[in-house]
Amino acid sequence: MTRPSTRPRTGPAALARQVTIALFAALLLGGCVTLPTEGPVVERNVTEAEDARQASDIDARPPASGASRTEVVTGFLDAMTAWPIQTSVAKKYLTTAAAAQWNPEQETIVYSDTLPVRQLAGTVSVELTAADSLDAVGGWRGPMPADQLTMELRVTVEDGEYRIADPLDALVVPATWFQQRYRQVSLYYFDPLAQILVPEPVFVPEGDQLATSLVSGLLAGPPPLARGVVRSFLPSGLSVGLSVPVDKNGVAEITLVGDAPKVTSEEAELMLAQLAWTLRQDGDITALRVTVGGFDLPLPGGASQYPVNAGKGFDPAGADATTLLFGLARGRLEWGTAGNLVAATGPFGDEGAGIEVFAARPDAEQVAVVDRNGQRVRVGSVRETADAVPTRTVLSGGTYARPTWDASGRLWVLERRRTGSVVWLVEDQGARQVRVPGVTGEQAHQLIVSRDGTRLVAVVRTNRGDEVVGARVVINGRGGIARTRAAYLVHGASGGQIVDMAWTSPIRVGLLTPTAPGTLSEVDVVAADGATVGVDELSTIVSGDLIGLAGTPSPGPSMLAVYADRYVDIVQQDEYEAGDVPLTQLDYAG
């Protein structure tokens, strides 16, 4: 393959767009910024993780003498918003017995608002207008059902004062408070074969204790909704010491205390990979040292510390994954770097290949294509080599959407039927149907799989518009797909039709929705777990007639807005010509 130049076009229009982006960066604190209409971006709404969100300290107030039942309940709710987080004052609103048993770490409830509290005899009722919940690890559970939005708190008299006798085992806080003080991060676990790391999104408090929160989260084990999907090599029964201190050189000292079994060098390597990938989200940490039960965890090569950028062989985006681009022009496959796509040398790069849509395997060795007016799926080599595999037909006779690959080489294909969609899994043994709740039997028209193979995301057409649903994939100990779990909502219907989607990180998905077909489109980046509160979201209005998005979970490459004659970096605004032949698809591998 010819190595193309990555230098973007730098004519007057490109320079004007660079000035526009510089002005935009200076105005980010304004929230919603309207830009000049030259170039693709017209408007962008963005919430940055560290812009103006300096959450001030909040001192909780203890109960006042002679407070009424409703004042005690209101004070209890207010006391749970103490910052930095502490619940000692909140416990003063409880009876002695209730305070001893109350476990607010079991769950977090994030509510949008409350109605005025109501008293009926010895019970005070608090009705939440809407609320979402997080599990004990900080994993997103989603909206709470309507029948759980009312908290009935029994208030009794103890030592002459009203106190709450039956608090909910949860930290109950307003969404505005949570949005300012929590951050969504990933805890890294392994797939069942310990071949690839799997990011599990969780929420942790911002602040100086980020490293401690990350390690404590890992030690707690996978979030409940991920159990059976991922595995951890950090032994159970361990806890972090008082904290995870980080020295001036960025080395985190992790002291794990408790009864731990003897750790082999292989297990130590996997433990270190989990810790390193998790802790690299703290920008102050460059390396780590670990002791378990008073003994140093053995490091590869006898090193004194383990860099957080190590463990590349377990990259959740795929250790062998490429960041090359793949395009489709006049029915044939192209590939290359941004600004320089050339015809693939394999069978699908020939004139007249007749490809409708395609998906390249993450390692760029093979590609799955849909041809014959969308009614056949074939798999073959991207380039012509001595060991290239023969092209083979894996599915035929249906109407197939763009396929999708995971890093283990499993190919997923969505078949669209009038009676409802069917999901096919293609492996070496052949193709078989896999039932995916929320997708199978529904009017789904797009499907993508995470590189680690544990999460499916699909676009489903409803009478309210397109919505995005997700499902977790259970992989057995032999690397086979056992089943998929119940569907969950990633992005609710808003009346529009989603025409394309792509991974933009291991835990984020980009969605393309035309708002004025042929003129304006909206690009939204949403959390793959469905979280809607505490997530920094990108929403951009892009001008022109877009044909799709190109995104990748691999770090580095940006999401691209794709036109027939060009493609544009949505963030940096670098623009690249498509060439003499119009594009009908442009994607990264996956």
Q: How many helices (H) and strands (E) does the chain have?
A: 7, 41
pLDDT band at 534 (very low <50, low <70, confident <90, very high): confident
- Residue pair 255/240 in contact (Cβ under 8 Å)? The answer is yes
CA distances from 574 to 58, 312, 566 (A): 44, 29, 11
Q: Would you give the DSSP letter of residue 28? A: G
pLDDT, tens digit, for every residue of 247-276?
A: 999 999 999 999 888 889 999 999 999 999
435 within 8 A of 493, measured Cβ to Cβ: no
Contacts 24+ apart (CB under 8 A), 72-79: 72/124, 72/155, 72/161, 72/162, 72/163, 72/164, 73/117, 73/124, 73/126, 73/153, 73/155, 73/164, 74/117, 76/153, 76/164, 76/167, 77/114, 77/126, 77/172
pLDDT, tens digit, 9 for 90 and up, residues 271-294:
999 999 999 999 999 999 999 988
Query: Does residue 81 have a pLDDT over 80?
Result: yes
Structural domains of the chain in order of their starting residue, each with its CATH number: 69-169 (3.10.450), 184-314 (no CATH), 325-588 (2.120.10.30)
Average pLDDT over residues 38-54: 40
Mean pLDDT for 81-110 is 97
| pTM (two decimals) | 0.88
Percent of residues, the chain, with pLDDT higher than 70? 91
CA dihedral 536, 402, 422, 513 (to 10 degrees): 40
- 175 torsion bin: left (phi>0), alpha (psi -120 to 50), beta (else): alpha
pLDDT digits (tens, 9 = 90+) for 485-509: 999 999 999 899 999 999 999 999 9
Give CA–CA dist 573/590, Å, rounded. Answer: 24
Per the CB < 8 A criterion, the answer to whether 201 and 186 are in contact is yes
Are the C-beta atoms of residues 45 and 534 closer than 8 Å to each other? no
Q: Rounded to whole angstroms, how far apart are CA atoms 196 and 225?
A: 19
Question: What pLDDT does residue 55 have?
Answer: 56
Interatomic CA distance for residues 76 and 99, integer angstroms: 12
Outline where 348-481 has alpha helix (H): none
Tokens read off for 298: 């053995």
pLDDT of residue 21: 34
- Give the list of residues 6+ apart from residue 490 with CB closer than 8 angstroms, or none: 457, 467, 468, 469, 470, 509, 526, 527, 528, 529, 530
Average pLDDT over residues 545-564: 96
Residue 12 has pLDDT above 50, yes or no: no
pLDDT, tens digit (0-9, with 9 covering 90-100), for 202-211? 999 988 889 9
Mean local confidence (pLDDT), 39-52: 40
Q: Are strands 108-114 and 123-134 parallel, antiparallel or unpaired?
A: antiparallel
3-class state of residue 421 by DSSP: coil
The Cα angle at residue 396 between residues 391 and 400, in degrees rounded to 5: 100
Residue 142 pLDDT exceeds 90? yes
Q: For residue 56, name the pLDDT band (cuts at 50, 70, 90).
A: confident
Are 421 and 398 contacting, i.e. CB atoms less than 8 angstroms apart?
Answer: no
Is 26's pLDDT higher than 80?
no
Inform me whether the pLDDT recorded for 49 exceeds 90: no
- How confident is the model at residue 29, as a pLDDT? 28
pLDDT, tens only, 367-414: 999 999 999 999 999 999 888 889 999 999 999 999 999 999 999 999
**CA angle (337 as vertex; 332, 340 as ends), nearest 5:** 65
Q: Give the separation between CA 272 and CA 300, rounded to whole angstroms.
A: 10
Average pLDDT, the chain: 90
Query: Mean pLDDT, to the nearest integer, of 175-203?
Result: 96
CA 111 to chain centre: 22
Specify the residue for token string 């039709």. Answer: 497
* CB 167 within 8 Å of CB 159: no
